[in-house]
Amino acid sequence: MENEEKKVNEEVENTVEVQNNSEELNKLKEEFNELDDRYKRMFAEFENYKKRSQKEKEGIYGMITGDVVATMLPVMDNLQKAAEAKTEDVGYQEGVKLVYRQFAEGLKSLGLEEIETVGKRFDPEFHEAVSHIQDETKGEQEIVQEYRKGYKIGTKVVRHSMVIVAN
């Protein structure tokens, strides 16, 4: 009988120990789930931060590039006028044309693009109307002449085109 009582006591102790281990295991599982959830949230926040930082970096680069290019556009305009000017010194004129082409290519490599004008529909996002004429041979809001070239980098306008608009 004593043996049986000893066995029963051992079984009770084992059952209590298993219950204690089970409770501890459940606590550890809960703690793990909380930590796992926190990790996933922090990882997602960090990924969002990286994306946001990259967009800001690209935006700042685009802004700075646009500002620098905008300050160089009058120089390019003057080089173009000099290249088109009539002169008897052909070598000099070819040299100016070469400098103009190199300068234009350098700005183009930064993403600079001309805004299309003549024959296109007037768009206030890209064009600045300096005059308006009536011409029945032209469409409504059609650009008929360009006073000053406009440029953009990507979708950002660096300088609006100055144009004359018909109808």
DSSP state of 38: H
Cα pseudo-dihedral 136, 142, 146, 152, rounded to 10: 180
pLDDT tens digits, 23-55: 899 999 999 999 999 999 999 999 999 999 999
Sheet holding 127-133, edge to edge: 127-133, 161-166, 142-148
Cα separations in angstroms, 77 against 43, 70, 71, 104, 130: 50, 11, 11, 10, 18
**Second-level CATH architecture of 112-167:** Roll (2.30)
Number of residues that make up the chain = 167
Residue 127 C-beta-side C-alpha neighbours within 13 Å: 23
Residue corresponding to tokens 């300088």:
159
pLDDT tens-digit map of 68-103:
999 999 999 999 999 999 999 999 999 999 999 999
* Per-domain residue ranges of the chain: 112-167
Q: Which is more confidently placed, 63 or 6?
A: 63
- In the predicted structure, residue 167 carries a pLDDT above the cut 80: yes
Separation CA 89–CA 85 (nearest Å): 11
Cα separation of the two ends of the chain: 115
Residues 6+ apart with CB under 8 A from 99: 79
